[in-house]
Amino acid sequence: TLRLIYTTTAVQRKNVGASGPEKYTEAFIKKQIEEFNLGKRHLANMMGEDPETFTQEDIDRAIAYLFPSGLFDKQARPMMKHPSEIFPEQRKIQWGEDGRPFHFLFYTGKQSYYSLMHETYEKLLSVQKYQDQLTAQDLPPEKEKRNLAGSRWLTKIELEEMLLEKLSDNDYLRFIHLLQKLMTLPCGDMEEKYIQKFTREVPAQLQKVVIEPLKYDERGVAFSTGEGIRKTAKATATVYDNGTGKITVNGIDILHYFPVLQDREQLLFPFQFLGRVGKHDTICTVSGGGRSAQAGAIRLASAKALRSFVTEKEVEFMRQAGLLTIDPRVKERKKPGQEGARRKFTWKKR
Amino acid sequence: MAAPSAAGLRWRLRAWVPRLTQVRWSRYNPSFIEPEVNKELYQKPLEELTEEEKEKLELKAVQPIKAAPPTVSSSVFSDPMISKFTNMMMKDGNKVLARSLMAQTLEAIKRKQLEKYHKAPEDEKEAIECNPYVIFHQALKNCQPIIGLSSITRGGKTYQVPVPLKDNRKRFLAMKWLITECRENKNRRTLMPEKLSQELLQAFNNEGPIIKKKHVLHKMAEANRAYAHFRWW
């Protein structure tokens, strides 16, 4: 028989933080996955669709329809996703029944990071040995040019996800420097495969925007439209071909609408850059903002409209000249305890 | 399908926030690059580019680029030095006034040079420079000091130590001296453009109060040569 020993409430309270983040057992995760698949089929039946071909997008649409939520934060709304996306991946227990750890670097604390550095450095040494062999046999070293522009290194967060371990900034930088050193040596094919594990493709060009084809109006003249914004000013511009270079804003000629030379210079900037100053007619409408903001908005709108008239290379040149980017600078808000956005109140010693 | 617990999700789904809030920041992502407005650089055909330039072009094709500011344009008339000078002359954000003063200054310089040109004999006509932009650049170059003085405190006493200046600092000092000189040492009746054009022409010929100020600074630096070893950078 057991006897109740007197305990205080303080001792009985569990120390929640000591055990670390909640660990999910494998059985638990498997059960979650089964429940998710069953739930998916139920949902498909409810929506009247085929349970076999019910994709994740369909699930999202169904949940948004059945549980409408007005919350701003998308992560706070009801969601139904595969458990591998919801529960973070965790390390399984790293030591056996006798308490002895499996990995030889367990006691460093960051075992996967150090083992990765170890592997990379071994590869570096092997490449150097290979190079020395080649120079000993008097063969020329292989020189291959790798395309630097299309790839980028893993970010720190991606590396952390790969290793399932927290890294510090210095650790991450050391690893990247080691990879760069490995890459600069004339390496063979084996190293390329290893390095590719740590690179990601960057979309080849930032011309992800689709350029619209030219439209033709009743007289047979080609035209195209563009929209631009700058700091609260919104503008739409239609650029016509076979023109004399006149620009009309809200029905008024630019000489009367923009009395300042700087604004007119900005309006003509895209045309002057492409060398088509007297060839196009422009009709714009603009609202909101101030004098300079409206000029900037019309500049962006006419640059976007001109893309349809011009070759792809020239579009890329316009982008590199900064004509096609929306200027994100807006007025900074005033903070409490300060007089303006940056200006503080006069400092009084007493 | 069980609701995920808050403790397990937080570190995964929260966006990275820097420990300290930034003081010097911009609305652009740090990966954005400054735009290149000069038209001629883009008109070079592909074959003439060197290996380095081709690599740079490839890299640029992948990186996002900031929008061109409203003061910059690809026309012949926009000059970065002139814009910088106009901004320094500007008071209370009145860019319109500053730009008109700058335009009047350049016009005044052109007029004075043309007068000299028409009065000069045939053989001296070619030596007279009429382009106001060239005069402005040359005058600024003549006004730039080579060494500056920096105050360093050692053992309670402050010494003026001669120090080499960076390019930005030289340009800034030249422009600042020009503007303060024109604002303070003029008659009540003379307008800014006239006084500025006068000073610029004097600086172009290496005379005038600003060049004197530069020489004075150089002499001070030469006099304090003994303390040059106090500099640690």
Amino acid letter at B147? Answer: I
Cα separation, A139 vs A48, in Å, equals 70
Mean pLDDT for B80-94 is 94
E strands present in B54-196: 147-154, 157-164
Contact map slice: A 271-310 vs B, CB within 8 A: 272-273, 292, 295-296, 300
pLDDT tops 50 at residue B197: yes
Distances (CA, A) of A40 to A28, A56, A85, A325: 18, 9, 15, 43
Interface contact flag, A317 B42, Cβ < 8 Å: yes
Nearest CA in chain A to B12: A88
Reduced DSSP (H G I as helix, E B as strand, rest coil) percent helix, strand, coil of chain A, to 5: 45, 10, 45
Residues A82, A137: one domain? no
Q: Partners of A224 in the beta sheet?
A: A239
Distances (CA, A) of B101 to A266, B96, B186: 20, 9, 16
Chain B hits for A262, Cβ within 8 Å:
70-71, 95, 99
Strand (E) or helix (H) holding A284: strand A281-287
Residues A183, A229: one domain? no
Cα separation, A316 vs B217, in Å, equals 48
For residue B102, give how far its alpha carbon lies from the nearest alpha carbon of chain A (Å): 13
Residues A127, A181: one domain? yes
pLDDT tops 90 at residue B210: yes
Residue among A88, A147, A328 minimizing CB distance to B28? A328
Interface contact flag, B8 A22, Cβ < 8 Å: yes
Answer yes or no: is A341 within a domain: no
Q: DSSP letter for A78, please.
A: -
pLDDT tops 50 at residue B7: no
Strand (E) or helix (H) holding B196: helix B192-204
Closest Cα to residue B69, out of B40, B98, B37, B32?
Answer: B37
pLDDT tops 70 at residue B5: no
Cα separation, A71 vs A92, in Å, equals 36
Q: What is the band of B203 on the pLDDT scale with cuts at 50, 70, 90?
A: very high
Residue among A206, A260, A326 minimizing CB distance to B62? A206
Interface contact flag, A269 B36, Cβ < 8 Å: no
Cα separation, A114 vs A116, in Å, equals 5
Q: What confidence score (pLDDT) does residue A143 get?
A: 64
Q: What is the band of B4 on the pLDDT scale with cuts at 50, 70, 90?
A: very low
Cα separation, B219 vs B212, in Å, equals 10
Query: b/e string for B169-200 if b means 16 or more Cβ within 10 A?
Result: ebbebbbebbbebbeeebeeeeebbbbbbbbb
Q: Partners of B158 in the beta sheet?
A: B153
Contact map slice: A 107-166 vs B, CB within 8 A: 147-150, 157
Mean pLDDT for B19-27 is 69
pLDDT tops 60 at residue B110: yes
Residue among A22, A75, A205 minimizing CB distance to B61? A205
Q: How far, in whole angstroms, is CA A22 from its chain's centroid?
A: 30
Q: What confidence score (pLDDT) does residue A148 get?
A: 63
pLDDT tops 60 at residue B13: no
Nearest CA in chain A to B24: A342
The residue from A174, A201, A228 where one domain ends is A201
Distances (CA, A) of B211 to A296, B86, B139, B195: 40, 21, 10, 16
Q: Please list, in sequence order, all residues whose beta carbon lies within 8 angstroms of the beta carbon of residue A225, skipping any fewer than 6 positions away.
A: A236, A237, A238, A239, A305
For residue B20, give how far its alpha carbon lies from the nearest alpha carbon of chain A (Å): 15
The mean-pLDDT minimum among A149-153, B57-61, B173-177 falls in A149-153
Residues A276, A223: one domain? yes
Contact map slice: A 22-41 vs B, CB within 8 A: 22, 24, 32, 35-36, 39
Interface contact flag, B1 A203, Cβ < 8 Å: no
Domains of chain B by residue range: 31-75, 79-230
Closest Cα to residue A127, out of A184, A72, A82?
Answer: A184
Tokens of residue A257, six digits: 């609408």
| Number of structural domains found in chain A | 3
Cα separation, A46 vs A62, in Å, equals 9
Using an 8 Å Cβ cutoff, are A285 and A238 in contact? no
Amino acid letter at A143? Answer: K
Q: What confidence score (pLDDT) does residue B53 get?
A: 80
Q: B38: number of CA atoms within 13 Å, CB side?
A: 5
Residues A191, A259: one domain? no
Strand (E) or helix (H) holding A222: strand A222-230
Q: Is B78 exposed, middle or buried, given 0-12, 13-18 or 19+ CB atoms closer than 10 A?
A: middle
Instruction: Report the relative pairing of strands A233-240 and A215-216 from DSSP bridges.
Output: unpaired
Size of interface A-B (CB pairs under 8 A): 110
Answer yes or no: is A349 within a domain: no
Domain containing residue A67: 26-86
Query: b/e string for A282-294 if b means 16 or more Cβ within 10 A?
Result: bbbebeebeebbb
Interface contact flag, A321 B68, Cβ < 8 Å: yes
Topology adopted by domain B79-230: Ribosomal Protein S7 (1.10.455)
Answer yes or no: is A178 within a domain: yes
Q: DSSP letter for B14, please.
A: S
Interface contact flag, B7 A148, Cβ < 8 Å: no
Interface contact flag, A39 B1, Cβ < 8 Å: yes
Residues A131, A80: one domain? no
What ipTM score was computed for the predicted complex, to two decimals? 0.82
Q: DSSP letter for A153, please.
A: E
Q: Residue A238: which CATH number?
A: 3.30.230.10
pLDDT along chain A (350 residues), means of 10: 75 70 81 93 91 90 92 90 85 80 88 93 90 81 64 86 89 91 77 84 71 83 91 93 89 93 93 90 93 95 92 88 90 91 91
pLDDT tops 50 at residue B10: no
Q: What confidence score (pLDDT) does residue B18 get?
A: 46
Q: What confidence score (pLDDT) does residue A146 get?
A: 63
Contact map slice: A 188-207 vs B, CB within 8 A: 202-206
Chain A hits for B73, Cβ within 8 Å:
265-266, 268-269, 272
Cα separation, A292 vs A329, in Å, equals 13
Other residues' Cβ atoms within 10 Å of the Cβ of residue A178: 16
Cα separation, B56 vs B59, in Å, equals 5
Reported pTM: 0.76
Residues A66, A137: one domain? no
Chain B hits for A274, Cβ within 8 Å:
none
Answer yes or no: is A276 within a domain: yes
Interface contact flag, B74 A321, Cβ < 8 Å: yes
Contact map slice: A 234-263 vs B, CB within 8 A: 260-262
Q: What confidence score (pLDDT) does residue A251 get?
A: 93
Residues A51, A146: one domain? no
Q: Partners of A338 in the beta sheet?
A: A344
The answer to whether residue A85 neighbours chain B at the CB level (below 8 Å) is no
Residues A196, A235: one domain? no
Q: How far, in whole angstroms, is CA A103 from its chain's centroid?
A: 35
Interface contact flag, A203 B36, Cβ < 8 Å: no
Any idea which residue has 């930088």 for tokens? Answer: A173
> What percentage of chain B carries pLDDT values higher than 90?
56
Other residues' Cβ atoms within 10 Å of the Cβ of residue B118: 9
Cα separation, A53 vs A40, in Å, equals 10
Any idea which residue has 């999910």 for tokens? Answer: A24
Q: What confidence score (pLDDT) does residue B86 get?
A: 95
